[in-house]
Amino acid sequence: MSGGTNADWFDRARRVIPGGVNSPVRAFGSVGGTPYFIASADGPYVTDVEGRRRIDLVQSYGAIIAGHAHPAIVEAVAQAARAGTSYGAPTEREVLLAETIVEAIAGVDQVRLVSSGTEATMTAIRLARGFTGRERLVKFAGNYHGHSDSLLAEAGSSVAQLAADPAAVPGSAGVPAGAVEATVVVPYNVVPTLDETVAAVIVEPIAANMGLVAPAEGFLDGLAAECARVGALLIFDEVITGFRAARGGASALTGVTPDLVTLGKVIGGGLPVGAFGGRAEVMERLAPLGPVYQAGTLSGNPLATAAGLAALDLLDDAAYARLGRTTQRLTDGLSKAFAESGAPLVASTVGNLVGIFAGAQPPHDFAEAKTTDEAVYARFFHAMLDGGVALAPGAYEVAFCGLAHTDAVVDEVIEVARVAAEVTVRA
């Protein structure tokens, strides 16, 4: 279905969907203007209902890594759909996807598949509490772990844009104070001192929801050591970085092995999926083996597992090497465009993610991330959009390259960015 204008569809959507969108950042609230409605996508491109084709650096917020509508993934989903779309019973592909994850990620002996990253983090925390018999959770300011109640405390992503005071605890209306009473929020890149009441520490090993923030040297190692000292579990939220930063995720890059890992995005090949895994003694506390309950009708959905397996099959060493070169090419080009124009923007890359920060230098923590000039980002965003390049409509997100972004496509993005940077300075 296509046709009409973006404005027409947005007006129509607002009559039946709160705010006209099904995820807040899509509403363009922090950048202004009318969101574009996608009619189709292929490779590195998205095309809206007005027929405008743009190079896409959103890539479904990281879920797309091989390019939109990759033939192998489309065919895998089509074949799976012809055999039925949901069974409520085990399937072979669930086992194959779990085996692929276990093989790739250090410290993961077993995996439970779920339907979203939020569900993965929520259940991993429940599991950590059930395993340790403790209640307190430590999270880091600016890290986003989904929208479950206990995690909406000083969260990044669109939560940071929603609240008049992004540091409010909790970070959303409708979350009772009791839901976050056992949640302790500490600064990112600083190892906290824990005690024996802490069940778990959850962290984005590469922070990607307050812009892009790299882990400081020694931060993750120190965190693992402190968790081990008091018997708390360390949870890496790799919903974004899993199978993107490297095949083994951020833990492969850093050499730090957590107790539990949460996954999503890439492992579903563009379909809704999530997963969490860890060592067997922890995972076996889950029902039906143990007392920690979790269930989901669509967990291990046959379409999602088919798409995920097809996507992961494309990610060999050569693919990661190419993705790394592409990401560096884009970051270098953006940095040059910003420097030459004098635009108050900086670009950075960590683990095949690209950050664009409206300030003098990339942030080190949430306090610095919140100094981003959202008005500057909004001007740059719209100038890029006018030039045919789609970025995330929010200053706290990151940009993603994929295997479909050729050198020629990246060079086109850089040229658009050069003009957009100049427009940003003049505005």
Catalytic residues: 144, 237, 265
End-to-end CA distance of the chain: 37
Q: Which residues of 397-413 are buried (b: 16+ CB within 10 A; e: fewer)?
A: bbbbbbbbbeeebbebb
Can you tell me the distance from the alpha carbon of 105 to that of 172, in angstroms, rounded to the nearest whole number?
33
- List, in sequence order, every beta strand (DSSP E) within 307-418: 346-350, 353-357, 389-390, 399-400
Cα distance between residue 423 and residue 343, in whole Å:
9
Closest to 400 in 3D by CA, of 323, 307, 334, 335? 323
Q: Reduced to 3 states, what is the DSSP secondary structure of residue 61?
A: helix
Amino acid letter for position 339: A
CA distance 402 to 59: 8
Dist. CA 15–CA 259, nearest whole Å: 45
